């Protein structure tokens, strides 16, 4: 195969930005797969340049002028930037491919702007694509492996890419690792609800940890496992065997039901400094938090006791909450969250709105069948903009509750209480920066603006009420402002998408391989 010049772009930011939060933390939110793909391409003898985009870099200048093939890794919120970039790169003769959450959720839309759209990706799929390396226009090829890769290149093989990214993180430097893929649970709204749990090799993980400890004085590792702790004993044994207790600081996402006091003690012993348990709803998903049939204030008290217990051992706890679920109605879900904050002031609350990301989860088909999914431009789809018509709320009512609760959660007095309740320096200051910069000024400003538009702009209301699919001027102008120079490269029609594409395509099957909704490889 011809030696190719390959570019890989990891879009951490969705547009140029200079916020303090992104400056301090942006480089710590990189994905593992761009590094993995870079390593696989190099193994094949190609020249590879990996660019991590945190909103400050000159994306085009950092790639070689004569680049042959570019992979772009993108979340849906960065899809429009990725479409503009693909357009620029194609105009310069490159072949383009997209992978990551957007490609998995909205393949039909991405096919319009890329030569290849990749779902589950393993080494042989990458080889196949590079062997083909040709234009597929106007309709890109959608290809997927039948499951996640069985193994991934270790930290030592990815080190040169990791090291370069770490240089961009001025204060806190975090290395992402994976010990498993998929999840054994099946929460209907989640992208992993139907992806089988797949543990990765424990010996390889031990190797990764040992290698890191040799390279970095006191490494910080963020486990990107969708649900860390499924194999709790084995993971803890591996960490204890590989490195002295407390020599690496760890961060992990885990369901509350897996976090008993004994386990949390063991996590502390092994250096876990941040945990991100999902609470989701006070009225739903009792299985996940092990609160069974308890709902409302009973569940608040029970969860709060458990979170306070965790905070006695782990200095940073982010609790994840979802609003707008069909089981929620009236002010109660919001008021109960405020009571939870009163009872657990040390927790940092992260709020998501119910979002149906294209074909991420089977539940999305139900929302599409019920015609409840709105075509909000991708630029706003990051769990902050609910894209499903709420079952039990009028939009204005929903935003009133949301604004009130966000104000309460990030008021100066609540930020101070959180600061006082956190025991360690870095978590304390991260909470302050995050509370003020992204959550307070960023989200609250956005929610207030949406409410204002809903009250004052008839076209805006009509869009939210599904009386028109025309994207409101406010959204168009915001995208234009955010994208800056990339706006001019956005292909015609890219800000609109078919919110029911998954439903439309769900009956289509490849005639050769029988895989639903995938082109023949």
Interface positions with ligand B12 (CB under 6 A): 12, 29-34, 37, 71, 73, 75-77, 99-102, 104-105, 118, 120-121, 148-149, 178, 181, 190-192, 224, 226, 253, 357, 360, 382-384
Told to check if 178 binds ligand SF4 by CB under 6 A, we report no
Q: Which is nearer to ligand B12, 102 or 379 (CB)?
A: 102
CA distance 300 to 306: 10
| 178, HSE (Cβ side, Cα atoms, 13 Å) | 24
The answer to whether 321 and 349 are in contact (CB under 8 A) is yes
Considering only residues 224 through 243, tell me which ones interact with ligand SF4, judged by CB under 6 A.
226-227
Q: Which is nearer to ligand B12, 191 or 490 (CB)?
A: 191
Per-residue burial over 57-90, b if 16 or more Cβ lie within 10 Å, else e, is: eebbeebeeebbbbbbbbbbbbbbbbbbbbbbbb
CA distance 290 to 295: 11
Q: Which is nearer to ligand SF4, 194 or 394 (CB)?
A: 194
What is the dihedral sign for C-alpha 351, 356, 358, 364?
A: positive
Strands of the sheet with 116-118, listed across from one edge: 47-53, 5-11, 69-73, 95-99, 116-118, 141-143
Query: Which partner from the list ligand B12, ligand SF4, none does 193 bind, CB cut-off 5 to 8 Å by kind?
Result: ligand SF4
Query: Which partner from the list ligand SF4, ligand B12, none does 68 bind, CB cut-off 5 to 8 Å by kind?
Result: none
Report, in Å, the least distance between residue 212 CB and ligand B12: 18
- Residue 285 phi, psi dihedral angles, 5° rounding: 55, 45
| 420, HSE (Cβ side, Cα atoms, 13 Å) | 8
CA distance 397 to 254: 32
Q: Tokens representing 485? A: 């120079």
Query: In terms of Cα–Cα distance, which of 11, 42, 10 is closest to 126?
Result: 42
Considering only residues 207 through 226, tell me which ones interact with ligand SF4, judged by CB under 6 A.
226
For residue 414, give Cα distances in angstroms to 133, 341, 453, 486: 54, 8, 28, 39
Helices (H) and strands (E) in the chain, counts: 22, 14
Q: Which is nearer to ligand B12, 193 or 247 (CB)?
A: 193
Report, in Å, the least distance between residue 191 CB and ligand B12: 4
CA distance 389 to 160: 45
Report, in Å, the least distance between residue 197 CB and ligand SF4: 9
Report, in Å, the least distance between residue 432 CB and ligand SF4: 28
Find the part of the chain contacting ligand SF4 (CB under 6 A) among 30-38, 66-74, 190-198, 509-517. 190-198
Query: Which partner from the list ligand B12, ligand SF4, none does 384 bind, CB cut-off 5 to 8 Å by kind?
Result: ligand B12
The answer to whether 166 and 138 are in contact (CB under 8 A) is no
CA distance 367 to 467: 17
Number of shown-chain residues binding ligand SF4 (CB under 6 A): 12
Among residues 120, 159, 185, 283, the one that binds ligand SF4 under rule CB under 6 A: 185
Q: Which is nearer to ligand B12, 99 or 472 (CB)?
A: 99
Q: Which is nearer to ligand B12, 226 or 271 (CB)?
A: 226
> DSSP string spanning 281-343?
-SSS-HHHHT-TT--HHHHHHHHHHHHHHHHHH-SEEEEEEEES-TT--SSHHHHHHHHHHHH
Binding mask 268-307 for ligand SF4 (x = CB under 6 A): ----------x---------x-------------------
Q: Which is nearer to ligand B12, 144 or 304 (CB)?
A: 144
Find the part of the chain contacting ligand SF4 (CB under 6 A) among 127-135, 181-189, 363-371, 449-457. 181-189
Q: Which is nearer to ligand SF4, 285 or 347 (CB)?
A: 285
| 1, HSE (Cβ side, Cα atoms, 13 Å) | 17
Among residues 109, 157, 192, 519, the one that binds ligand SF4 under rule CB under 6 A: 192
CA angle 287, 293, 299 (to 5 degrees): 85
Report, in Å, the least distance between residue 455 CB and ligand B12: 25
Start-to-end C-alpha separation, the chain:
18
Q: Which is nearer to ligand SF4, 193 or 392 (CB)?
A: 193
Q: Which is nearer to ligand SF4, 109 or 225 (CB)?
A: 225
Report, in Å, the least distance between residue 77 CB and ligand SF4: 19
Query: Which partner from the list ligand B12, ligand SF4, none does 101 bind, CB cut-off 5 to 8 Å by kind?
Result: ligand B12
In the three-class reduction of DSSP (H, G, I as helix; E, B as strand; rest coil), residue 96 is classed as strand
Kind and range of the H or E element at 262? helix 261-269
Q: Which is nearer to ligand SF4, 86 or 255 (CB)?
A: 255
Q: Which is nearer to ligand SF4, 5 or 352 (CB)?
A: 352
Report, in Å, the least distance between residue 211 CB and ligand B12: 20
Query: In terms of Cα–Cα distance, which of 264, 193, 260, 206 is closest to 238?
Result: 206
Report, in Å, the least distance between residue 361 CB and ligand B12: 7
Report, in Å, the least distance between residue 358 CB and ligand SF4: 16
Query: Which partner from the list ligand SF4, ligand B12, none does 76 bind, CB cut-off 5 to 8 Å by kind?
Result: ligand B12
Return the number of other C-beta atoms located less than 10 Å from residue 313's C-beta: 18
Told to check if 318 binds ligand SF4 by CB under 6 A, we report no
Q: Point out which residues bind ligand SF4 (CB under 6 A).
A: 183, 185-187, 190, 192-193, 226-227, 255, 278, 288
């Amino acid at each position: 195969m011809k030696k190719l010049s390959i570019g890989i772009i990891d879009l951490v930011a969705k547009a140029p930005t200079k916020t303090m939060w992104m400056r301090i933390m942006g480089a710590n939110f990189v994905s593992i797969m761009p590094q993995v793909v870079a390593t696989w391409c190099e193994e094949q003898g190609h020249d590879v340049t990996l660019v991590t985009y945190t909103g400050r870099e000159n994306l085009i200048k950092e790639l070689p002028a004569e680049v042959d093939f570019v992979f772009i890794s993108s979340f849906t919120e960065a899809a429009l930037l990725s479409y503009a970039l693909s357009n620029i790169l194609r105009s310069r003769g490159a072949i383009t491919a997209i992978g990551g959450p957007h490609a998995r959720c909205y393949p039909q839309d991405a096919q319009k702007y890329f030569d290849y759209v990749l779902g589950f990706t393993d080494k042989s799929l990458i080889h196949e694509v590079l062997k083909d390396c040709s234009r597929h226009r106007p309709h890109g090829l959608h290809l997927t492996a039948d499951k996640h890769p069985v193994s991934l290149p270790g930290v030592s093989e990815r080190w040169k890419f990791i090291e370069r990214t770490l240089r961009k993180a001025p204060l806190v430097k975090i290395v992402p690792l994976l010990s498993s893929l998929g999840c054994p649970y099946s929460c209907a709204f989640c992208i992993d609800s139907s992806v089988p749990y797949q543990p990765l090799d424990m010996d390889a993980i031990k190797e990764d940890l040992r290698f890191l400890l040799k390279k970095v004085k006191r490494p910080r590792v963020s486990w990107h496992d969708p649900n860390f702790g499924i194999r709790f004993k084995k993971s803890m044994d591996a960490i204890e065997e590989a490195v002295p207790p407390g020599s690496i600081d760890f961060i992990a996402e885990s369901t509350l039901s897996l976090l008993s006091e004994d386990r949390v003690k063991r996590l502390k012993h092994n250096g876990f400094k941040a945990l991100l348990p999902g609470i989701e709803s006070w009225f739903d998903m009792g299985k996940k938090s092990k609160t069974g049939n308890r709902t409302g204030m009973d569940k608040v008290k029970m969860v709060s006791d458990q979170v306070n217990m965790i905070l006695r051992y782990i200095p940073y706890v982010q609790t994840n909450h979802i609003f707008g679920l069909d089981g929620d109605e009236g002010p109660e879900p919001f008021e109960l969250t405020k009571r939870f904050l009163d009872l657990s002031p040390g927790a940092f609350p992260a709020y998501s709105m119910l979002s149906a990301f294209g074909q991420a989860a089977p539940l999305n088909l139900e929302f599409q069948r019920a015609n409840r999914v709105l075509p909000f431009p991708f630029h706003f789809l990051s769990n902050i903009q609910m894209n499903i018509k709420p079952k039990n709320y009028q939009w204005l009512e929903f935003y009133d509750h949301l604004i009130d609760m966000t104000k309460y959660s990030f008021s100066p007095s609540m930020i101070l209480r959180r600061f006082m309740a956190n025991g360690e320096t870095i978590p304390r200051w991260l909470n302050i920066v995050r509370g003020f910069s992204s959550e307070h000024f960023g989200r609250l400003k956005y929610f207030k603006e949406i409410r204002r538009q809903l009250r004052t702009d008839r076209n805006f209301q009509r869009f939210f009420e599904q009386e028109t699919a025309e994207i409101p001027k406010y959204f168009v102008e915001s995208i234009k402002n955010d994208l800056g120079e990339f706006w001019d490269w956005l292909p015609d029609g890219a800000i609109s998408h078919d919110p029911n594409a998954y439903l439309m395509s769900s009956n289509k099957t490849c005639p050769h391989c029988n895989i639903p909704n995938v082109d023949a490889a």
